[in-house]
A and B are shown apart, each in its own frame.
Chain A
């Protein structure tokens, strides 16, 4: 396990070779995080990330359900064609993937921002 720590690429500020001191700083942060005050931040981070995941998943599933509903409810839509291809095939076979990608990208950006905010709160630089 220690081997992993050393070999994995780390983006510590160049010029500082202070792994040992960084580690002891980490130990003191461990203690801070397990204190009651630290746990308030941790719990709030977990709640935020869970809410984010659920919101993105729900949004994605809504769009997913909306696609076949749209095909069923708008008369003639399923039979129409786009560049010679049947519209229902294009919608379900191609159109869903950009929605997946967009949801994933939004999630990653927001999740990273939540973690950055947490780091600021616990005074981690």
Chain B
């Protein structure tokens, strides 16, 4: 691919991001603005921003790549990513908004009346965030290497630098505009090229190289256990993602939090049609990419391969821009939420502290990413979902719906989930390329129930520690706000 195309696309996205970020700077003044945009963001903006933040490298590049490799088995990824939001809507959205907390640690502290729980939750949230940023940076490295031929670290450093500048300058308010813009950019960047490709293929009558059902690399089909375990991870993992949850506080009330989630579901459903189409067309017309080990670059390479010429270059530039929008938006969303957590716990919640915390939250994963090799993007993000589902999800779900949860139970549950799931991840990485057994590769099906069981059992055993504020808190979480009445 022409290297100028890649560099120009990245520069354009960075400049647009910075401009929108600085525009936001003029209207964010107080600490509240910096953290959660003072809760006055409109549902459509907010939903676009959630979509923009959620659709990461895994969705933009990884899903299509995985579909190219393993066909219909990989279709469970986009389904799970979307259905996770349904679970979020059903069990978390409105109560979490009504809790009035800024971050997940704020929520657990208020719910369980314990500083220790707060600290443990903060550690878990920061771990999840860092784990999640790393694949974004791997994606950036891949994109820079494929499209410009520059060394991979350039992509990682560039993403971290742009994110730091926007977050430090504007906080959540400017991030909201940036994210919303980036959702629509990502959608256009996938939709336009694939429509072009479909029309070109249909018009020229190019025969398919292979049928969609032909397996280009002979990857063994995933077993029933793996599919179920993956779905458990994605369905329950979304509930606990810190950058997703912090978004719900920007809704004015519980019912609007629900409405925002409904719009998000629509936006995600539309978006995921396109990676699926890329995967299907890639299987039929460009199975070579899978054999040469470039599956994750399918979305970036397909327009150039199937169209070519100046039109191909332009469409490639658009896809590259979309990919960088994906890295930038997810990373900045995570950095904002991590900075919120770190600055409240370490720096007393000042704006200055927030800026320092933002830099810390972006630079540490940069170090991790530069030391680790990249796996399949969708797969490594799937592991983060499994980790979240085994740690934050049980505490959040039980905290919202079960009066019996205690601080001891929450800590024991988070520790169990972190040790089991983290252990499985490390063991899987050590066993490496030979392929770990499926129960280690997809641990969610047993680590999530284990974390739930430990949380419930320990809470039962320490039932005298149920906080005295429980009645007032449960009332606040579940009863509609007042005095507003927004029924119709």
Chain A interface residues toward B at CB < 8 A:
1, 3-4, 7-12, 22-23, 25-26, 29, 33-34, 38-39, 42, 45-46, 49-50, 52-53, 56-57, 60, 64, 79, 85-86, 88-89, 92-94, 96-98, 100-101, 103-105, 107-108, 111-112, 115-116, 118-119, 124-125
Contacts and interface: CB of A to CB of B under 8 A. Distances in A.
Interface stretch (B121-129, B251-259, B356-364): B251-259
A40 B418 CA distance: 37
B475 A25 contact: no
A40 to B, nearest CB: 12
Contact of B401 (A50, A57, A96): A50
B22 to A, nearest CB: 23
Given A10-B484, A26-B483, A100-B269, A86 B213 contact: yes
A104 B89 contact: yes
Contacts of B285: none
A60 B475 contact: no
Given A12-B483, A115-B255, A4 B89 contact: no
Contact of A97 (B82, B259, B486): B82
Interface in B448-485: 471-472, 474-475, 478-480, 482-485
A11 B91 contact: no
The 5 A-B residue pairs with the shortest CB-CB distance, nearest first, are: A97-B269, A53-B90, A22-B483, A93-B276, A92-B75
A60 B89 CA distance: 13
Contacts of A23: 483
Nearest to B480: A115
Given A8-B40, A42-B479, A111-B258, A92 B72 contact: yes
Interface string B417-445: 00000000000000000000000000000
Given A11-B486, A12-B483, A107-B90, 8 more contacts: A25-B483, A34-B471, A34-B472, A39-B471, A45-B479, A53-B90, A93-B276, A104-B265
B399 interface: no
A47 B280 CA distance: 44
A60 B86 contact: yes
B478 A42 contact: yes
A107 B485 CA distance: 19
Contact of B32 (A4, A9, A12): A4
Contacts of A57: 86-87, 90-91
User: Which secondary structure characterizes the binding site on chain B?
Assistant: helix
Contacts of A34: 471-472, 475
Contacts of A12: 483-484
B262 interface: yes
Interface string B76-94: 1011001101110111001
A24 B474 CA distance: 21
Contact of A104 (B72, B86, B483): B86
A108 B266 CA distance: 14
Nearest to A13: B485
A37 to B, nearest CB: 13
A105 B273 CA distance: 20
Contacts of B231: 64
Contacts of B483: 10, 12, 22-23, 25-26
B258 A101 contact: no
User: Which secondary structure characterizes the binding site on chain A?
Assistant: helix
- Which residue, of A3, A60, A97, has the highest number of chain B Cβ atoms within 10 A? A97
Nearest to B472: A34
Contacts of B474: 42, 46
B90 A56 contact: yes
Nearest to A12: B483
Contacts of B100: 1
Contact of B478 (A9, A46, A89, A94): A46
Contacts of A7: 38-40
Contacts of B480: 115, 118-119
B482 A111 contact: no
A11 B485 contact: yes
Contact of A3 (B32, B89, B252): B32
B482 A26 contact: yes
Contact of B280 (A4, A50, A89): A89
A88 B90 contact: no
Given A42-B479, A97-B82, A4 B38 contact: yes
A100 B235 CA distance: 12
B479 A33 contact: yes
Nearest to B33: A3
Contact of A33 (B40, B89, B475): B475
Contacts of B38: 3-4, 7
Contacts of A111: 94, 258
A12 B78 CA distance: 41
B158 to A, nearest CB: 33
A45 to B, nearest CB: 6
- Which residue, of B253, B262, B472, B475, has the highest number of chain A Cβ atoms within 10 A? B475
A64 B75 contact: no
18 contacts: A3-B38, A10-B484, A22-B483, A26-B483, A34-B472, A49-B478, A57-B90, A92-B75, A93-B75, A97-B272, A100-B85, A104-B89, A104-B261, A107-B89, A108-B259, A112-B255, A119-B485, A124-B482
